[in-house]
């Protein structure tokens, strides 16, 4: 009988040795929790298609972020929802608008929290597109001018990082120049570099009330059939001054995360998006999956593919599970 000399099972014999040779690890410091902020007071409104996720008024947001920070979540991403909408997204770059007010309140109420802000217009335009419409099309250059104003409004309010998610050409360079000209040279840019026109965004559009009123976003978000194009997008953003590049969504794009990390050789973020979250939640609620184990496997797969940072709606509950001892990293 043949007996193998090389027995890979030797390193799987017990938990101690499995932990010793584990190749991929991550911690709460790698996770970013998204929040949806709405005008008003004392609002905590459940999002039906995203169980466990809510829209918060600023006062309730402070309470929530305090608890998250105490549990170990140190970084958050803000989306403004429910503001007055118009054709040119005026509320997005209003210095006294919802997100600047939220940033200032968070910096005062939760010292140490790292605030990242979404820089895009889909939540603020009456038509729901991510840019300014001219002659029935999204006008790239006019849009990036206003995106620069939005990034400045957030930086002036105290944002730690800005994250343009619109997918306009040249917006990273324009935002970088706008920030630098006002001495915000230390504010990093997290660029949504490879953002695909995905079918996994549906629950987010419920949460942010940002579905386009006509057409779709395929003229600016990427075709999901393409991989090499993602590397061109990333390369352009890096040349224009991006400090971190992002792939969005995550689970159906692990190959893209891997290729971006291998070629860009810089920090890579992946967005574990609303549809991915909702699918797992639905399966868990029906008893089809063990939620905690599947969340850990999911996030580990994204980290294993090459993501240094993961934006995920699971962040807060994972922190709670670790705190109560039901999950270990």
Q: CA-CA distance, 292 to 190, in Å (whole number)?
A: 29
Per-residue confidence (pLDDT) for residue 211, from 0 to 100: 84
Q: How many helices (H) and strands (E) does the chain have?
A: 11, 12
Whether the CB-CB separation of 329 and 322 falls below 8 Å is answered with yes
Mean pLDDT value of segment 43-48: 96
Range of the domain at 203: 23-324
Q: Could you give the count of Cα atoms lying within 13 Å of 219 in the half-sphere of its Cβ?
A: 13
pLDDT of residue 136: 86
Joined together, the tokens standing for residue 311 give 């934006």
Mean pLDDT (whole number) for 114-140 = 93
Q: Grade residue 214 by pLDDT with cuts at 50, 70 and 90.
A: confident
CA distance 272 to 97: 28
Q: Does 205 map to a domain?
A: yes
Q: Residue 301: is its pLDDT beyond 80?
A: yes
pTM tops 0.85, yes or no: yes
- Tens digits of residue pLDDT in 81-124: 989 999 999 999 999 999 999 999 999 999 999 999 999 999 99
| pLDDT value, residue 212 | 86
| Residue 250: cis peptide before it, omega within 30 degrees of 0 | no
Secondary element (H or E) of residue 303:
helix 291-305
pLDDT of residue 112: 95
pLDDT tens for each residue of 260-299: 999 999 999 999 999 999 999 999 999 999 999 999 999 9
Q: Is residue 161 part of a domain?
A: yes
> Mean pLDDT throughout 122-135?
91
pLDDT-derived band at 75 (thresholds 50, 70, 90) equals very high
What percent of the chain stands above pLDDT 70? 100
Q: How confident is the model at residue 258 (pLDDT cuts 50, 70, 90)?
A: very high
- How many degrees, rounded to 5, is the angle at CA 189 between CA 126 and CA 60? 60
Written as one string, the DSSP assignment of 12-39 is GSSHHHHHHT------GGGEEEEEEE-S
Give CA–CA dist 277/226, Å, rounded: 24
**Residues 88, 90, 91, 96: what is their CA dihedral angle, to the nearest 10 degrees?**
170
- pLDDT at residue 210 tops 90: no
Those residues whose C-beta lies under 8 Å from the C-beta of residue 117, and which sit 6 or more positions away, are 77, 78, 99, 103, 154, 159, 161, 162, 163
Q: Is the pLDDT of residue 2 over 80?
A: no
The phi-psi region of residue 76 (left if phi > 0; otherwise alpha if psi is between -120 and 50; otherwise beta) is: beta
- For residue 298, being part of any structural domain is answered with yes
- Radius of gyration of the chain measured on its C-alpha atoms: 20
Bridge partner residues of 125 (DSSP):
86
Do 40 and 98 form a contact (C-beta atoms < 8 A)? no
The more confident residue out of 248 and 6 is 248
pLDDT digits (tens, 9 = 90+) for 147-170: 999 999 999 999 999 999 999 999
Domains identified in the chain, total number = 1
* Domain CATH for 158: 3.20.20.70
Report in angstroms the alpha-carbon separations of 74 from 31, 259, 321: 8, 28, 16
Looking at the predicted structure, is the pLDDT value of residue 21 above 80?
Answer: yes
CB atoms within 10 A of CB 213: 9
Residue 2 lies in a domain: no
> Does residue 12 form part of some domain?
no
Q: Is residue 3 part of a domain?
A: no
Give 189-201 pLDDT, tens digit per residue.
999 999 999 999 9
pLDDT digits (tens, 9 = 90+) for 77-92: 999 998 999 999 999 9
With respect to residue 163, please indicate whether it lies within any of the assigned structural domains.
yes
Beta-bridge partner residues of 248:
195
Give the catalytic positions in this structure: 195, 248
pLDDT at 76 > cutoff 90: yes
Residue recorded with tokens 């990093």:
188
Confidence of residue 213 (pLDDT cuts 50, 70, 90): confident
Query: Do the Cβ atoms of 26 and 299 come closer than 8 Å?
Result: yes
Domain contains 75: yes
């Amino acid at each position: 009988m043949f007996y193998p000399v090389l027995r890979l099972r030797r390193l799987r014999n017990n938990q101690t040795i499995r932990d010793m040779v584990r190749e991929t690890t991550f911690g709460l410091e790698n996770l970013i929790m998204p929040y949806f902020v709405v005008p008003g007071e004392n609002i905590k409104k459940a999002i039906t298609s995203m169980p466990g996720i809510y829209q918060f008024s600023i006062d309730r947001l402070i309470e929530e972020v305090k608890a998250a920070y105490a549990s170990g979540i140190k970084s958050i991403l803000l989306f403004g929802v429910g503001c007055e909408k118009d054709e040119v997204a005026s509320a997005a770059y209003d210095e006294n608008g919802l997100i600047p007010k939220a940033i200032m309140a968070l910096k005062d109420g939760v010292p140490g929290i790292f605030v990242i802000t979404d820089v895009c217009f889909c939540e603020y335009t009456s038509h729901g597109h991510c840019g300014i419409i001219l002659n029935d099309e999204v006008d790239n250059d006019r849009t990036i001018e206003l995106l620069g104003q939005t990034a400045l409004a957030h930086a002036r309010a105290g944002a730690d990082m800005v994250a343009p998610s619109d997918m306009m050409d040249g917006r990273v360079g324009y935002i970088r120049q706008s920030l630098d000209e006002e001495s915000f040279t230390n504010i990093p840019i997290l660029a949504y570099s490879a953002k695909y026109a995905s079918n996994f965004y549906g629950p987010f559009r419920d949460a942010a009330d940002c579905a386009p009123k006509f057409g779709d976003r395929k003229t600016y978000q990427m075709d999901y059939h393409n991989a090499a194009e993602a590397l061109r997008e990333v390369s352009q953003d890096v040349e224009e001054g991006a400090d971190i590049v992002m792939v969005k969504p995550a689970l159906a794009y692990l190959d893209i995360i891997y290729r971006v990390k291998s070629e860009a050789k810089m920090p890579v973020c992946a967005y574990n998006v609303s549809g991915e979250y909702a699918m797992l939640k639905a399966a868990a609620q029906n008893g089809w999956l063990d939620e905690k184990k599947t969340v850990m496997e999911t996030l580990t797969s994204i980290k294993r593919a090459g993501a240094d940072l993961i934006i995920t709606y699971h962040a807060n509950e994972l922190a709670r599970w670790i705190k109560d001892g039901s999950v270990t990293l």
